Structure 1
């Protein structure tokens, strides 16, 4: 690492080792400055909380119009999708998300989510041993979200793998990114077929997208991109938060004891889980002008900038003892779901599902124990597990 003309580092944040445990590297980069030029990938890494939040709120300076991925193939393939737009076009398409995923709109499904979570928790507690990823965290997103979208039964099981591939394909050029391309091609083909055949249940979220496309409000690429947003964001983020939460509570039994004794802390615990293990670690944008971040750091116009939610949420300049898991912290200002005009539109649904799961477990479980070594699902963009074997008592 060097601080010659501006902070720069030859660190690879996308190696297996870095993805498995990124936080020591994030801290080293934060200590260099508010942003660091990653010479290996020619990226600017914005890593401190204050600067990440400010950048996410300034779409005129940090634009999504040239894509949020770290390679040209990804950005070209999803050109026209909601995530690759700035206002005003982004605002119009985003309404299709926010109208159906607002707290008011979700009230009608909250009772159903609670009921399903209660049934799932009861069944898993009776079993005693289960996998927090495949048996718990993946259950509600597949059943609830797919029903809300109005997705056909055929193909649901394959969507999880396709979704993970979508995020992976947004990384920098390399073996991991290349290996994800077949999954993304399969996802695009599948979504395009769904749009062409109108193979969705009328009345669901997805049907709204088809109707908007038929009215000429959004192009076919936009319709495909919106459906991908529902599927990809809803799956990976929710699955990651629930399974990461179980993992954290297994490692910190004293915090689980607090939650069992005070179940009203479930929302605060959810926020702390998202802060500690941000399901989306990084996204990128491109600067439209020179940006002076202070401390001698000036990001030039036209630079690809990677904003790290994972690093910002562990910034000791903003959070006291940020590597400590404390469910009483209740970090309402965490950046785990982004911020600004591209903040996660589905975070309300993720909260409903995760809250329901942890409330149902806290009412039945005194202790969560790991029964084996958890397996990380290494991904260029997201952070989560492929397996977390646990026993509940």
Structure 2
């Protein structure tokens, strides 16, 4: 039986999640939207919004009813092309299955063991340097230098032009949000940056070892097409830098605001992996993106017509008291953050997330061996970004551990 529905069956709200005010501090709006109902209609953008964990999880795991091939932004790219060819994030089976299998073979447990060994020395070196400084910018001195060094090296990028990685990430992710001034600013040098990225994805411009070369080997074996290899390398470059930078910064922010949790981590650096998950939950780098309904469907009793855009708030779902308890907005290493949706869930869960986890974990462990206290010495400046949450500046004081002689 065909379900008929109109948008008026969901509570209509005028709020703008892409305003500078709400980007700078999204959590009051998240609470308002969660309490308004399982689904609300965002008047300004003509789309549905889903913020409760139960329904965000359901939509993420039901790729047949809520597709990615319609695009993660406000446009339905099946009908209206976007600024670049769709990536693995914007595909569905069978195309997605082929590409994900190709990438999963590259990002394997053995690869992770190799990368952990490869990434460790720079984490130790960076920690030594910032602890010697004492007063640092947690973003410019820690969160940015680490991924911008170890990740491009792991992919096999040439040294020149790496300054294009952050502008490209800003373009790719801001396009998942509103077509506003924030997006326009990110695209200021769009053609130049995009051209460098695509050129860097070519087989001849990658080192003979590294993740990029491994992806091209999959293409040479005939398991993916050459154009898919280009898109997979591009997907690594767009997803492997910005979110990791924000993940490191947001974790430092959480630990600085909760010194009792730093004491636990300092006493047992093996807790670093739990600190990573809890920080990803409570300060999710990826806050929201869109899905597109493929059929007339229903979310929490609210009927959604086919071809509707649905804005999923992972950042709100990860703080939903219905899932995480009444202190859902508190960073707590004793909490099990298993099941958070910071990296998505289901078929489209981020296949590169083990790399980001290793990077954040190694930085934390290196600091835990050297730092007695992490303190904020001023208010961090938020990064104004359509869909990612992080900081542009974060003044920190690192008090070194007393050395024993």
Task: Give TM-score, length-normalised by structure 2.
Answer: 0.91
- Counterpart position of 2:292: 286
Determine which of 29, 46, 49 is the counterpart of 2:50.
46
* Contact 1:83 1:342 (C-alpha < 8 Å) held by counterparts: yes
Provide Cα deviations, 1:274-299, integer angstroms capped at 9, x if missing partner: 001111111211101122122x4111
Aligned-partner SS, 2:323: coil
Provide the alpha-carbon RMSD of the alignment.
Answer: 2.0
- Counterpart position of 2:115: 109
The verdict on how the C-alpha distance between 1:232 and 1:13 changes in structure 2, with shifts beyond 3 A counting, is same
Provide Cα deviations, 1:61-110, integer angstroms capped at 9, x if missing partner: 00111211124689523334211110111011112322222233211121
Alpha-carbon separation, structure 1, partners of 2:260 and 2:348: 36
- Counterpart position of 1:242: 248
The verdict on how the C-alpha distance between 1:214 and 1:181 changes in structure 2, with shifts beyond 3 A counting, is farther
Aligned-partner SS, 1:369: strand
* Contact 1:7 1:36 (C-alpha < 8 Å) held by counterparts: yes
* Contact 1:255 1:327 (C-alpha < 8 Å) held by counterparts: yes
Alpha-carbon separation, structure 1, partners of 2:200 and 2:134: 39
* Contact 2:177 2:289 (C-alpha < 8 Å) held by counterparts: no
Aligned-partner SS, 2:385: coil
Determine which of 289, 314, 335 is the counterpart of 1:309.
314
Alpha-carbon separation, structure 2, partners of 1:217 and 1:250: 46
| Higher deviation after alignment, 95-104 or 215-224 | 215-224
The verdict on how the C-alpha distance between 1:322 and 1:215 changes in structure 2, with shifts beyond 3 A counting, is same
* Contact 1:160 1:235 (C-alpha < 8 Å) held by counterparts: yes
Residue 305 of structure 1 and its aligned partner are, at CA, apart by 1.0
- Counterpart position of 1:8: 12
Q: Which runs of 5+ in 2 are unaligned?
A: 1-6, 400-405
Residue 154 of structure 1 and its aligned partner are, at CA, apart by 0.7
Determine which of 56, 64, 75 is the counterpart of 1:60.
64
* Contact 1:191 1:224 (C-alpha < 8 Å) held by counterparts: no
Aligned-partner SS, 1:386: strand
Residue 220 of structure 1 and its aligned partner are, at CA, apart by 6.2
Provide Cα deviations, 1:289-345, integer angstroms capped at 9, x if missing partner: 122122x41111110111111010010110111111111113111111110111111
Aligned-partner SS, 1:329: coil
- Counterpart position of 1:263: 269
Aligned-partner SS, 1:69: coil
The verdict on how the C-alpha distance between 1:233 and 1:183 changes in structure 2, with shifts beyond 3 A counting, is farther
Counterpart mapping for 1:198-277 below 5 A: 198-212=204-218, 222-277=228-283
Determine which of 16, 30, 35 is the counterpart of 1:31.
35
Alpha-carbon separation, structure 1, partners of 2:390 and 2:230: 25
- Counterpart position of 1:193: 199
Provide Cα deviations, 1:232-263, integer angstroms capped at 9, x if missing partner: 21101111111111111111212111211232
* Contact 2:71 2:90 (C-alpha < 8 Å) held by counterparts: yes
* Contact 1:102 1:348 (C-alpha < 8 Å) held by counterparts: no
Alpha-carbon separation, structure 2, partners of 1:209 and 1:183: 28
The verdict on how the C-alpha distance between 1:343 and 1:197 changes in structure 2, with shifts beyond 3 A counting, is closer
The verdict on how the C-alpha distance between 1:58 and 1:4 changes in structure 2, with shifts beyond 3 A counting, is closer
Alpha-carbon separation, structure 2, partners of 1:72 and 1:292: 20
Is 1:327 aligned to residue 333 of structure 2? Answer: yes
* Contact 1:80 1:222 (C-alpha < 8 Å) held by counterparts: no
- Counterpart position of 2:3: none
| Higher deviation after alignment, 67-76 or 108-117 | 67-76
- Counterpart position of 1:82: 88
Aligned-partner SS, 1:17: helix
Aligned-partner SS, 1:367: strand
Task: Give TM-score, length-normalised by structure 1.
Answer: 0.93
